[in-house]
Amino acid sequence: MTPVPADHPDAPRRVIVVGGGVAGLATVLRIRRSLPGAQLTLITKAALEESNTWYAQGGMAAVLSGAPGQEPSEPGPRGGVRDSVAAHVADTLAAGAGLAAPDPVRLLCAGAQGQVSWLESVGFRFDSAGGAPASGREAAHSAARILRAGGDATGRALAAALIRAVRADASVRILESTVVTDLLRAGTPAKLRVSGVHVRPAGPATAGEPAAREITADAVVLATGGAGRLFEHTTNPAVATGDGVAVAWRAGAVVADAEFFQFHPTALDVAGSPLVSEAVRGEGAVLRDASGTRFLSAYHPDGELAPRDVVSRSIAQHLAARGERCVYLDATALGGPFLARRFPSLTSLTASHGLNWAREPIPVVPAAHYWMGGIRTDTSGRTSLPGLYAVGEAACTGVHGANRLASNSLLEGLVFAGRTAEALAAPEAPWPAFPAHPLALDSPDAGEPFDRAQLQRLMTRQAGVLRDAAGLELAAKQLAAYAPVGSTIEELETVNLLLCARLLVHAATARRESRGAHHRSDFPLADPRKVPGSTAYVRASTPEEGFPQ
């Protein structure tokens, strides 16, 4: 039988999904249901198991009872407050500090119940208690709505289930250890469309395999995660180098809200900065300084349960004032048996570093955790470039605003994976046109060589939890002077990090106020004249041709 040409009307849709976390895996599975005949290719630059999702501990926010119109203040059957979708929406908007977009937030929160059902259909179950999913409370949530799996290993359990489902589908072409270096574009200058990807093997090419090649497609979905490796301390794995944002920017896509990078308040102060889940504080653990004093109530009335940006900033300010390195998370009041049962992974982790957290407080520091900014999309995952979609942390849908509410990220990946798959299956609608300022970020042909560690030190000191004009100006000048050389995969990742750093510093300089995760010590208050929404949508003044292949 003669194959149908790719450009024939009856040819199957060719879709490339880049990224192996919850957003990428769920997008593949959802597309398979929405477009059963699609030719699907999943590309990851490491093994499928290496993603931010795999390391997520806390859980997924989901309201499983009550109706969207239910009043958040209605008493619940066990006393306290009955939860509702409206309450989840309100908490998400409050955490977003005036920049979260109400309509996408409502889609996010109202979609949670359906995601739980869909996950069950692919073989995943949350932990249960009394015949129903077990739920806990985390910072800035008004009710206990955080579902978990494996105690404190939700991300690993979720990723493992999705990976099994994807691998079970023999029709999905999986390319692991494959790096997308740039996007392909086709068409006229006035009507460009993303038409595939440039790829290279992450390691040495195998016999007969080209060092670089092109894979064409009708649509590309970027689900590449964040850029935690911009900073010295991060909870993110080594793959989090901002690749999706970088390749989209170079192709001309609009990027938004780059100034908003969330620092998780409690990473264990050891090599690798492993995350200590927000859920630990939700269960009653407290933060103390080196003198043993609880200090957070002096910064915010909610203390340990204040929003993440508040807790991280308070810790940073407290440490700076006292000249100390870390604070201490005290979970001793919870007792060893409870900690071992509720947080088995953390109990093993702390023990592996010679710490007994049932008997003594453990040292923690804020660490880069989640980038609220990213490739601007609508609620169907569509970017400003026809043919290009983005889902998960790589995208900026508006659901997080200036600060992400704890445990909304897994939910975001699932909800918008489904919506993106639906958009791919539907007749193509006009693509969104996001207004954006053109921004030139030309790199010098010759300049100061640098390595990734230098970049991370610069960003941590000048554009981390606390920022000011002098530090941002210094960072901007230094970043503009860097002239990276080399073409190894690690060096190309560093080039992507450099681009993300410049976008972040540009946006942080432009936002002359403090809001959410963006804190300017020279503008310590939010500007009430700022209208809700981002003021820093930018696009490349001239799309680049990308890396030498």
Query: What residues contact residue 339 under an 8 Å CB cut-off, 6+ apart?
Result: 331, 346, 347, 357, 358
DSSP 311-331: HHHHHHHHHHHHT-S-EEEE-
DSSP 305: G
Question: How much helix, strand and coil, in percent to the nearest 5, is found in the chain?
Answer: 35, 20, 45
- In what order do the strands lie in the sheet containing 286-288? 261-268, 362-371, 327-330, 286-288
Of 519, 528, 533, the C-alpha closest to 299 is 519
CATH (domain of 275): 3.90.700.10
User: Which pairing describes strands 173-175 and 60-61: parallel, antiparallel, or unpaired?
Assistant: unpaired
8-state DSSP, 195: E
Cα 455 from Cα 460, distance rounded (Å):
9
Q: What length does the chain have?
A: 549
| H/E element, 415 | helix 409-425
Q: Output b/e per residue, 339-370; b: 16+ Cβ within 10 A.
A: beebbebbbebbeeeebebbeebbbbbbbbbb
Q: How far is CA 89 from CA 96, 100, 165, in A?
A: 11, 10, 31
Q: Please tell me whether residues 448 and 534 are part of one structural domain.
A: yes
Is 215 a domain residue?
no
Residue after which a domain boundary falls, among 366, 401, 423: 366
Predicted local confidence at residue 208, as pLDDT: 64
- pLDDT attached to residue 6: 58
Q: Is residue 106 part of a domain?
A: no
Residue 467 lies in a domain: yes
Return averaged pLDDT per consecutive 10 residues of the chain, 549 residues in all: 54 93 98 96 96 91 66 39 92 95 97 97 94 89 95 94 97 97 92 96 73 95 98 96 97 95 95 90 96 96 90 95 96 97 94 98 97 97 98 97 95 98 95 89 74 96 98 97 84 95 96 95 90 63 58
Q: Which letter, b or e, does each residue of 163-188 get, where b requires 16 or more Cβ atoms within 10 Å of its Cβ?
A: bebbeeeeebebbeebbbbbbbbeee
Nearest to 25 by CA among 42, 11, 39: 42
In this structure, what CATH number is given to the domain that contains residue 481?
A: 1.20.58.100
Residue 498: phi and psi, rounded to 5, are -60, -45
> Which of 303, 334, 366 is where one domain is finished?
366
CA neighbor of 418 nearest in space, from 408, 426, 406 = 426
Full DSSP string of 323-389? T-S-EEEE-GGG-HHHHHHH-HHHHHHHHHTT--TTTS-EEEEEEEEEES-EEE--TTSB-SSTTEE
CA pair distance 144, 166, nearest whole angstrom: 31
Contacts 24+ apart (CB under 8 A), 300-303: 302/139, 302/140
Whole domain around residue 326: which residue ranges? Answer: 266-366
Counting the structural domains of the chain, the total is: 2
Residue 472 inside a domain? The answer is yes
d(CA 96, CA 317): 21
- Annotated catalytic sites, by residue? 308
Q: Is residue 71 part of a domain?
A: no
Instruction: Identify the H or E element spanning 538.
Output: strand 538-540
In a domain, 500, yes or no: yes
Residue 444: predicted pLDDT: 61
H or E, element range at 206: none
Predicted local distance difference test score (pLDDT) of residue 156: 95
Q: Within a domain: residue 375?
A: no
Tell me which of 349, 366, 383 is where a domain ends: 366
Do the domain assignments include residue 271? Answer: yes
